Structure 1
């Protein structure tokens, strides 16, 4: 987060405000209930989702 407490996109080098939370876990090391969170702006939501889905890590998307 920044000084203004705006949620920022988790994509490397991105400084845009996040609009969604991507909830994921790695089933090899996390329990099924555990969720980790990446934040994504509109420009990076699809790319980050595809990255997680390709590894079978993607669980849910929630607006923020």
Structure 2
């Protein structure tokens, strides 16, 4: 049984359709990517949150996301 990934927004239980790849340059190497998942409703909010901090690196559709090698 496979679980459907859910949105990372606080309290949201909707299916994730986006992957927001990010890193904190103060603690991660440049190639390191952390991920948050987002539903359609929360994609923009989560992207703005990460973008304001300079953390957001990429936003990719969940179906198209490929985990970086060595992750």
TM-score, normalisation: structure 2: 0.84
Q: Which residue of structure 1 lines up, in the alignment, with residue 45 of structure 2?
A: 47
User: Which ranges in structure 1 are unaligned for 5 or more consecutive residues?
Assistant: none
User: Please, what is the CA RMSD of the aligned residues?
Assistant: 1.0
Q: Which residue of structure 1 lines up, in the alignment, with residue 54 of structure 2?
A: 56
TM-score, normalisation: structure 1: 0.93
In the alignment of these two chains, the number of paired residues is 62
1:11-30 counterparts in 2 under 5 A? 11-30=9-28
4+ runs deviating over 6 angstroms: none
User: Which ranges in structure 2 are unaligned for 5 or more consecutive residues?
Assistant: 63-71
